[in-house]
Structure formats: structure tokens, C-alpha cells
A and B are shown apart, each in its own frame.
Chain A
Amino acid sequence: MRDLLAARSQMAMSLAFHIIFAVVGIGMPLLMVVAEWQWRRRGDRVFLELAQRWAKGTAILFAVGAVSGTVLSFELGLLWPGFMTQAGAIIGMPFSLEGFAFFTEAIFLGIYFYGWDRISPRAHLAAGVVVAVSGALSGIFVVIANAWMNAPTGFDLVNGRPVNVDPIAAMLNPAAFPETLHMTLAAYAATSFAVAGIHALRLLREPGNGFHRRALRVALWAGAPAALLLPLSGDLNARHVAQWQSVKLAAMEGQFKTERGAPLRIGGWPDEMAGETRYALGIPRGLSLLAFHDPSAEVRGLEAFPRENWPPVAPVHLGFQIMVGLGSFMALVAAWALALMARGRDLVGHRWLLRALVAAAPMGFICVEAGWVVTEVGRQPWVIQGVLRTADAVTPMPGLVVPFVTFTLLYCVLGVIVAWLLYQQVLRSPTSAGAAMPASTRYGEVG
């Protein structure tokens, strides 16, 4: 394996692993806080059980997210020292702000997990709110840094070196708003749909279980609106990409030829050699309409760009198709569930809705992974769009396949253990013994 490919694979694998925990770190605190708030408001102890279980799940996932995020911050330099030399002074600002947001999240998570009987109810709920807000903020800051890689602003390039550096202008890059909005909504939708799906599965077997009923409602109220909004924020992103990264848009759509009134392709397999996308279902003028809101707008195809500036077309197109396809399904299910809930219907009677929710459970996370493939692979061969090539940023360290394989194995093992622990600790139906366990036994002591 070539070192550049190994470095890219290690970065991709580290991001793909960490993003799951990062998304959960944004989404779960919201669910946890809503459940605790419901308990305080209604005095319904089932909501307390729910909040504590979700907190426990968050504790496990947050710890793994914290350490895998640390690995990423080092990997920026371990794998891409050329990138950090150029970019550090320009986009270090959002990373520094993220540092503080993450600090706040870690501090108040500690207070939340271990503080059930140490602080007042009001302070405890407030700690949960701080966790939810700072978790969302840390995600936003990191995505701003990524957005800058897609739309680099805030410096002038003189003789290949950045001068006149303006970190504020870099943070306000044009990709920042669409990307952060889309990712934050995605975090709420992915987490909530995963939770909703798990409880829907339980309700198919035990329709009368009040624990799962309440869990499903909280998850849907938190996640369904986000799932409905995601196609809109996605549209914002697509139009931004069309304007700023037209080669990425061409790869996303499998658009090889430059044409007016370009069709929207559904499915299909882009063949880079032949220069065409086969087996796709084309909606006439659809792409021009969506990307530029004009059915006869000209869409630049891959042929308009030098071959060495093409991203790998097939994974980008496939990733985009998966994200849009599964995301659309989630939006439909969300609309269905919200329509029923708004009319005060009992969701558990609608067994097909429950089945659809079970099917949708993993989709949010698949969409997140696919979306990051589109963003990151679609930016290749650049690490900073149009400024620095990935190949010029990689470390001179040889044998990079070794750390790649090592971290892959490490993360596989951790993933299996986390899944098993979540099943043991969070997902099983509560038993009467479990419900009677006081909070101090559950959270106050360790091991």
C-alpha cells in the first residue's frame, strides 16, 4: 500500500469511527435533557429511568469519542504536517474555540453523570442543558474548519505561501453556514432515529411497554423535525457546491458532459474511463433546476476540468446517492410520524410506521458516513481546495500502513465492545430490579 493511500485510509477510518461518537455526543444530550425535564415536570419516574439510561449510554460513547477525537487532533500533524504548516495559523481559531466548547461539555457531563444526588434538581437539569449546547457548539466549530478546506478564504497566496492571514474571514467562509447547519441537523436526526428505531423494535414485541412508548415519543419529537429540515439544508449545500466546487458537484451527479438543462441522475454507475454514467434513471432538467434553481442552467461536467483535478467519481456519486436516498426515506417517515403525533394518535397502533422506524434506525448514521465521503473524497485531490494537494501535505514517514492497520484493529475491537455494553446496559427492557436500583448505586460508585 502506498504511503499516501495508507495515510488517507487512516484519516478516513479515524474520522468515520469518531464521527459516530461525535454525532451521538451532540444528539444524546438533547434526548437526555428532554427526558429529565419531562420527569421533573410530570413526576413520572419512567422518564427518570429513561434519562439515566440515556446518560449511561452517553457516558460510554462520550469517553470513546473523547479519546478518538484526541487521536484525530494529533493525526492532523502525524499524517498531514504539510497541511498544518500552511493551515494552522488560518484555521486554528475554530479548533481553539472547539477546545473550550469541548472542555465545557466534558466538565458538565462529569457533573451530569456523577451528580444526580450531589446537586439540586434544577442545577442538574441546567448541567444537562450546558452539555447539549456545548456539544452542538463543538461540532459546529470543527465543521467550520472543514468548511474552510472546501472554500478557503481569509488569506492571500503569494509564492505558494499564505500571507495576509485573517482567521475571522477564514471562519466566515462561504461553506461554513450550509455545512454546519446540515451537520448539526444530521446529528439530531441520526441519533434520534437510531434511538426511535430501537424502541420501535421493542414496541413491535411489547406494545404495552410504557418505557418504550415514552422513549419513542421523546426521540421522535427531537429527531423528526431535523429529518424534515435536512433536505432543505442539503439543497443549500448542493447549491453552494455547484457554485464553489463545480467539479465536486459533477462527481456527485456523475455529470461528465457540460450541458444546459442537465438531468438529475438517480442511481447509475459512473465509468471514468468511458466518461459516462450508465444505468441511471434521469429526470430531465432536474440537476439544473436543483443546483441553480433554473431548469435550463448550464452545469459544468467533469470534462471541463483537467483530469488530474478529478476526485474519484464512483465513490462520490455512490455516497451522494446513498445519502439522498436514505435521507429522503427518513424525511418521509418523519413526516408520517409527526402527522400522527400532531393529531394525538397512538403511534404504537401503526405497526407499519414502527417497522419503517426500525428500518430507518441505522440510516441516519449511514447518511452521515456517506455524506462525509461526498465532502472529503469529493474534495480530492486537494486537501485545501485549489490551494494544497493532499499528496503534498502527507508526512514523509514511511511504512504508514502499520499505524493504519493498528488503529483499524483497535477501533474494531472498541466498536464491538461498545456495541455489546450498550446492549447490556441501555437497550434491554428495564426489569423491576433494575428500576429499583437507587441512583447512587448506579452512578455514584464505580467498578
Chain B
Amino acid sequence: MAKITPRPMVRIHNIEANEVIDREMNDDEFAKYQEQQAADKAAADAKAKGEADKAALLARLGLTEDELKTILG
């Protein structure tokens, strides 16, 4: 039998009724959550790649980041 992983929880606080509901994400919320996760991972990957490319370029040039800043003024 396949193990069902619980979905992330959400809290909804209706301050007019002073009512707090804790429940698992519904389908729509979970779809958005997964989209967000994918977008976050893509952004993190792009940032990491940019840092790596920059470091590789500096290494090829034989410069440090501070030295490059000095050159660029």
C-alpha cells in the first residue's frame, strides 16, 4: 500500500469571529505550493550557477573579486 505523505498545513485566522482553523492544504493551495517550490529551486539554481560562472571567470582571469572591483572602479 502506497504511503500517503501529509500535505503542508495552513492556518487561517478569522479575526472577526476569532476562529483559528488548522488544516492540510487543499488541491489548489498545494498546486500553488508546488509551483512556488519549483520557482524557488529554479531561482536558487540560477543564482548558484551565476556565482559559479563568476568564480570560474575570475579564476581564468587570475583575479579576485576585490581586484575586479578595483579595475572597474
Q: Bound pair: A and B?
A: no
Show the binding face of A for B, using Cβ within 8 Å.
Answer: none
